[in-house]
Structure 1
Amino acid sequence: MSALSMMFSGDREGVRDVAAELGSMGFSEPLSSGEHVWPDVHPLEQFPDFQEQGYREEGRNRLGLWQRLNEEPQPRSASAFLVAVLGSGLERESAAAAAALWRQTETIDRLPVDGFYIRQAWHDLIHWWPNMAPWFPVLGAFPGVAPGSIDLDDPGSSAVPWDPELWTEAFDRAIRRVDPPIAPIIVHWLARWRLELALRSPDRVTRSFAMAVLPPVEQPGEAGPPVPPRGSSPTAATVSTMIHGTWGWEGDWWRPGHDFHTFMTPHRPNLYKRRGTPFGWNGRYKDGARRKAGNEFLEWAAEQAPNGLQTLFGHSYGGEVASRAALLGTPVNELVLLSTPVTKHIRAVVSLPGIQVVDVRLRFDPVLFLARTRQRVPQHPNVKEVLFDKWRLDHGATHRPNIWVEEDVISRSGL
């Protein structure tokens, strides 16, 4: 599902980067080659007639739709397959399909659609779903979720248990009488509501699929992360530190005293752990937020690490923030990228003189594909790539101590 989302982005090279991995997952050679990508597909024209797809049959015709997609790679075939998987009772599958479909239909609200069809679609959804009452508080969160409203590492009391029968019933009722003009609207709403549930899932991987496409929503008057202390006496020795990614301020793996920071301390005893707040940024899913964070880290490093940084760890878009700071002139000896999207800033930083880059990532990262970003750093003498041997789906696996031990990352990376 995440791979199909990347194909809709039109990035041939991004697909070719992981052609071998796609082939091992069952994609035919035409699909995995990158030759079939579908940029700029109009949301109102990409869906086939739902009544012909057998979505309400057992299995929802998934095998037939998958075979058709591999034999005739077309946007309508891809959309038909994604809609079938959206109706799956398997939690991760339906969440991944929802994320891909949301990206495909996120402009639907701005399209000129007759109000009659909007009212009909809304009536069909709500009128048929009396059993959806337990989920209505979640659906009421539409159209956004504040970062502080959910603990993304551990949802705890805010978690919503997955009910496969309730979801498939909702899907069946929504698809049963969908006319072509309102098909994309129904898919759009189903996908968004499925993602709202995914954000509150007890399953970390399911949450990551929703986080890949739903940006944190800043609420009026919401405070950002505390500003690190300024004017304190600088650390004499060279410093190492960590930068979290999008949504990451709510987590704690990167903070002194918590799991990954503690795990790496024997290997980097100079990891920043002074009293006060380590560097953090607001984690917004916006280019401007990452640009601002890069500038702020440049200032932070000038005060807290005047002799330069030995090792700078950056997870996900935190790796881009780290790269922006290095490109602005922050002295960094070693940059460790953890599941970082390969943006233009990453491609530029690897060729900086005097910097060594360690690139730690999943063999195939569904979150990066859903975000429609590349996931292979170009080969360069400054770069050491560490691809996990075992197939994993957790975007955060690259900062989990137990995974580092299983994958022997310390030895393989030379850290």
Structure 2
Amino acid sequence: MDAQGDGRQEYEIHPEDDSIEESPETEGTNASRFAIAGALGATTLRGAPLDVIEPDMLAMFGFRDELRGAVERLRGDNPIFGEGEFLQGTVRGGWQPRAVRRDAWRRLNDGSAGRRLTLLAAGLCSSLERESVVAAVAVLNALSASVVIDLLGIDADDLLYPLSLSLAEPAGERVVWRREEWAEDSAERLSASADGDTRDVLRRLLLLAFERIRAALRSPDEVVRELAAAAWLRAVALDDRVEPTVYDSETVADDEGRGGAVPPADVPAGAPPGAAPAAPARLSTLIHGTWAWQADWWYPGGDFHTHVAGRLRPTLYDDGMPFSWSGELSGQHRAIAARRLQDWLATATGGAGVGTVFAHSYGGEVAVRAVNNGCPIAQLVLLSAPIHRHHRRALPHIPDVVDIRLRFDLVLTGALAKQRLRGPRVRNRIISKAFWQHGVTHDPALWQGEGLDAFVGP
């Protein structure tokens, strides 16, 4: 998934407590805080815990380490009578979002994990467009699927693909953000639930979050649209109803990095960590991620394709039929894409095997599924890839894995995706600067500025 045309947009990280104030200077920090608060303690549809937040991410944004355990202890409680009651009491006391966010942040870091949802509600009512939509997605993540389904009277698919909205459909006319109007209206509407019960407060909060996400998809700001789309990407992590299909030969029970497919016979033993090994002088290719089929960065003539072909891999495929896939948000589509990648590589390389595969986001899952099905890849370069069992199982069969990602990825956090890959054959490069865009890791300017060409290797 990509936000196109905005260049590289950085934000400063402010771990100090007073940076919780609503301000353009601290919007990136607070959007990140909201994303983290929503992801802590998140579970799948069936209630299995999702381990999303790395330990260093908490301290980076001023959270105390103890918060993780405190939020996890809330998981066994009924949020309607836990976090919801705190929010209800705040609404009854007169809803002033800016004052509430200060108080909720202070109390949250003093150990009162029950203030988490109140902090997110205040963030949702922010006049700042980007932090407001991140808070909206975080509200959905903070409440268990069973509670959301019960409160709104919807089914699981409406939760995963919010209220049946489709990203495949035109978003309609762009709507200019009216910051003060949203801040006032959202605060008033949440206050209107003060005379109701806790369920009514939570219901109004959820409906407000869905409304905010729908509006964000029509924003002129492409970063805002990308942040809103995390509400759909959550489906990959949340939906544990999916069983293995005929399109996927992997064994679900094997999730410890041992591999489930026959190791490719022509792949040499893995290179030790350290200096970048020389890449095989074989055909290389790029794989785009979810919803990015229409983008041009990965296509011959696109900016990243041009960068890789000119500076890294002169054997990068540049003929008329590059590999692509649907980019649909579906495990079945990614499994089909992996099979088709195998077929494409066999044809394009004449059976000689592929040198380097550069894969962005969920394109990385397409690549590792192919490896687990027996497809030889000598070097895999992952760009902002969400990490799942498929990646861990593929590691023994890829001689060199290069994992390039942001120190904190707002979109992947909203999507409840694991963001770090570890293993003896993995060379990690984490970009220390903070960026709004999930797609910045395929920006040629970032590669040049961060020296990524040398890290990947000749």
TM-score by length of 1: 0.79
CA distance in 2, matches of 1:314, 1:41: 40
Describe the superposition over 1:200-221 as per-residue Cα deviations: whole angstroms up to 9, x where unpaired. 223333222211122599xxxx
Moved more, 46-55 or 282-291: 46-55
CA distance in 1, matches of 2:346, 2:411: 33
Change (3 A) 1:34 1:58: closer
Q: Which runs of 5+ in 1 are unaligned?
A: 116-140, 151-156, 218-236
1:251 aligned residue: 295
Corresponding letter in the other structure for 1:23: A
2:457 aligned residue: 414
CA distance in 2, matches of 1:287, 1:40: 29
1:101 aligned residue: 139
Once the two structures are superposed, the pairs formed by residues 155-194 of structure 1 within 5 Å of their partners are 158-178=173-193, 179=196, 180-194=198-212
Corresponding letter in the other structure for 2:381: V
CA contact (8 A) 1:55 1:84 kept: no
Describe the superposition over 1:150-202 as per-residue Cα deviations: whole angstroms up to 9, x where unpaired. 5xxxxxx8432211112112202211221223112211111111111222223
Describe the superposition over 1:223-246 as per-residue Cα deviations: whole angstroms up to 9, x where unpaired. xxxxxxxxxxxxxx8321111111
Moved more, 57-66 or 382-391: 57-66
How far did 1:13 drift? 5.0
Corresponding letter in the other structure for 1:94: S
CA distance in 2, matches of 1:334, 1:308: 11
1:274 aligned residue: 319
CA contact (8 A) 1:339 1:362 kept: yes
SS for the counterpart of 2:40 is helix
CA contact (8 A) 1:144 1:216 kept: no
1:348 aligned residue: 393
CA distance in 2, matches of 1:62, 1:215: 27
1:234 aligned residue: none
Describe the superposition over 1:10-46 as per-residue Cα deviations: whole angstroms up to 9, x where unpaired. 557543x3x2232021101212x55642546656444
Once the two structures are superposed, the pairs formed by residues 222-371 of structure 1 within 5 Å of their partners are 238-266=282-310, 267-276=312-321, 278-305=322-349, 306-352=351-397, 354-371=398-415
Residue 7 of structure 1 pairs with residue 40 of structure 2: yes
CA contact (8 A) 1:279 1:297 kept: yes
CA distance in 2, matches of 1:410, 1:285: 30
Corresponding letter in the other structure for 2:133: A
CA distance in 2, matches of 1:201, 1:395: 17
CA distance in 1, matches of 2:438, 2:94: 30
Change (3 A) 1:412 1:65: same
CA distance in 2, matches of 1:414, 1:108: 49
What stretches of structure 1 move > 6 A for 4+ residues in a row?
112-115
Residue 82 of structure 1 pairs with residue 97 of structure 2: no
Q: 1:23 aligns with which of 56, 59, 71?
A: 59
CA contact (8 A) 2:39 2:141 kept: no
SS for the counterpart of 1:285 is coil
CA distance in 1, matches of 2:201, 2:79: 10
Corresponding letter in the other structure for 1:4: A
CA contact (8 A) 1:87 1:168 kept: yes
2:165 aligned residue: 144
CA contact (8 A) 1:146 1:216 kept: no
Change (3 A) 1:83 1:216: closer
Residue 377 of structure 1 pairs with residue 421 of structure 2: yes
CA contact (8 A) 2:234 2:416 kept: no
Moved more, 34-43 or 64-73: 34-43
Once the two structures are superposed, the pairs formed by residues 42-57 of structure 1 within 5 Å of their partners are 42=78, 44-45=80-81, 46-48=83-85, 49-53=87-91, 56-57=95-96
Change (3 A) 1:184 1:319: same
SS for the counterpart of 2:293 is helix
Residue 400 of structure 1 pairs with residue 415 of structure 2: no
Describe the superposition over 1:26-81 as per-residue Cα deviations: whole angstroms up to 9, x where unpaired. 101212x556425466564442243525673261411110111111242x311111
Corresponding letter in the other structure for 1:349: A
CA distance in 2, matches of 1:110, 1:12: 19
CA contact (8 A) 2:151 2:203 kept: no
CA distance in 1, matches of 2:229, 2:151: 28
1:68 aligned residue: 107
Corresponding letter in the other structure for 1:102: L
CA contact (8 A) 1:43 1:104 kept: no
Change (3 A) 1:35 1:181: closer
SS for the counterpart of 1:146 is coil
SS for the counterpart of 1:337 is strand
Describe the superposition over 1:262-282 as per-residue Cα deviations: whole angstroms up to 9, x where unpaired. 111111112222113x22222
CA distance in 1, matches of 2:324, 2:199: 46
CA contact (8 A) 2:37 2:142 kept: no
CA distance in 1, matches of 2:406, 2:115: 28
Q: 2:226 aligns with which of 208, 217, 226?
A: 208
SS for the counterpart of 2:37 is helix
Change (3 A) 1:216 1:351: closer
SS for the counterpart of 2:359 is strand
Moved more, 371-380 or 62-71: 371-380
SS for the counterpart of 1:384 is strand
SS for the counterpart of 1:304 is helix
Change (3 A) 1:374 1:114: closer
Change (3 A) 1:301 1:43: farther
How far did 1:104 drift? 4.0
CA contact (8 A) 1:290 1:321 kept: yes
CA distance in 2, matches of 1:320, 1:311: 15
1:59 aligned residue: 98
